[in-house]
Structure formats: structure tokens, C-alpha cells
Amino acid sequence: MSLTDTQSAILALIAERIDAEGMPPSQTEIAHAFGFKGVRAAQYHLDALEAAGAIERIPGRARGIRVLQAPRPPQGQIDFTPAKAAAANDDNALRVPLLGRVAAGLPIGADIGSDDYILLDRVLFAPAPDYVLRVQGDSMRDEGIFDGDLIGVHRTNDARSGQIVVARIGQEITVKLLKIGKDAIRLLPRNPDYAPIVVKPDDDFAIEGLYCGLVRPNTTRSVR
């Protein structure tokens, strides 16, 4: 059974941690490292690695994982190269366009318009993304969204208060936590160093999509 890029990167991370610390990462640590929404996705990939014969899990031992197959590439990283075209080789692969960047800080001018596509693992996202944006800034760090991350966006104009959205104010795009109050709409950062953005009644404002998951470039690869 062949491994997906994500599974290969997880295998490399496990081997690296065992070599450096004498024990593998926990499922929670794997989920955090790869931007998974929860441990269920980490469990899914560990099951796949075991089924492929790449690892062995030892019953009755916390973090009981033994690496049986040398990881490729080494050091837990897969080169990230934007691709003009991609071809999905398994049922869990999604081919989505990388459209540009989005601010996780103050809004920045949208850098949208690209022919680049990347392959994503379907299980990492809910709902499935329509496109991917590269994050610039750290205003959403407490939500686990960091500068340079690639976030999946489900295209919709509807959102509920409390959801993380990609919003447009004029010609600028930002990712924030949406709060709809009786007096105003606010776009809240998840970093105390940043102030909320209050949407004024006369602002040209729209919800462009819902945040639905992320990947980090050093654990993801595009295929030409």
C-alpha cells in the first residue's frame, strides 16, 4: 500500500521524534503539527501507516509505536512547490487552486489570481475547500493558524456568529472570527496584540468563505 504525502510526512515526524527524544509524538501532537482539527485525523493516518506496514503499534503502551519502514523524505519535510497542474492518485486527494494570500493581522490587499493547484488530503478538511489561501500575519495564532499556513476556504456568503471566516472589506481580504452583535459586526483576532475590526454600516463588506482547515507548507506538496 502506497503512502500519501501526509502519511509520509507523519512517518518522518515519528521517526525524527523517536531518534531525538526516544519516544514518538502523541496523537494530539501529530494533530497540532499538521493543523488537524482533532485527533481523529491523526488516528486515521496512523491506522493507514500500520496497515501499510510502515509502523507497528505496541498494545498496552502509551505512545507505543515502532517504525518499520524508513521514512521518505527524511527529517519530516516534503518540499512544497506550487504546481500549474496536479493529478490526484487516491480517493482522499483533493485538487484545489491556490488563489493567493489572506491577512491574519490587519487586512491587506488581496493577491488573488493564480493558475497554481495543490493536492490536499480530503480528511483534513470539513467541509471540502473550494480554494486555498496563504496566511500572512499572526493575528489568528491562538486558533492554531500561523504565518505561512495554507488555509482551506469553503466558498459561501453565509456564516454564523462564532465561525472563522474569510471576509472582504473593500478590496482587502482578512481571516478572522466573526461576531455578529445587535449593534455591529466585528471581526475578531485570536491574538491579544491585535484589535478587533468593526464593520461600519457603509463599508463594502462581504463574507467570502468559511475556514475549513489548514496545512503547513513543510508537510505538504504540490504535484506538477
Model confidence pLDDT, tens digit, residues 151-204: 999 999 999 999 999 999 988 899 999 999 989 999 999 999 999 999 999 999
> Do the Cβ atoms of 136 and 57 come closer than 8 Å?
no
Dihedral, CA of residue 134, residue 139, residue 145 and residue 151, to nearest 10? -30
Q: Which residue has the higher pLDDT, 48 or 8?
A: 48
Q: Is the domain 5-76 a CATH 3.40.50.300 member?
A: no
Q: Is the domain 93-219 a CATH 2.10.109.10 member?
A: yes
Distance CA 185, CA 198 (A): 6
pTM, two decimals, is: 0.59
Q: What is the pLDDT, as a whole number, of residue 72?
A: 60
Most confident of 33-42, 92-101, 138-147, 186-195: 186-195
Beta strand spans in the chain (E): 55-57, 65-67, 93-103, 108-109, 117-121, 131-136, 150-155, 164-169, 172-180, 185-188, 197-199, 205-215
Distance CA 210, CA 194 (A): 21
- 61-88 residue pLDDT tens: 767 898 998 776 433 333 333 333 333 3
Q: What amino acid occupies position 52?
A: A
Given 2, 84, 114, 139, the catalytic residue: 139
Given 26, 176, 182, 200, the catalytic residue: 176
Structural domain boundaries in the chain:
5-76, 93-219
Could you report how far apart the first and last alpha carbons of the chain are, in Å?
Answer: 22
Identify how many contiguous H helices and E strands the chain contains and give both numbers. Answer: 3, 12
Q: Which residues contact 172 (CB under 8 A, 6 or more apart)?
A: 103, 107, 108, 109, 110
Annotated active-site residue 26? The verdict is no
Annotated active-site residue 139? The verdict is yes
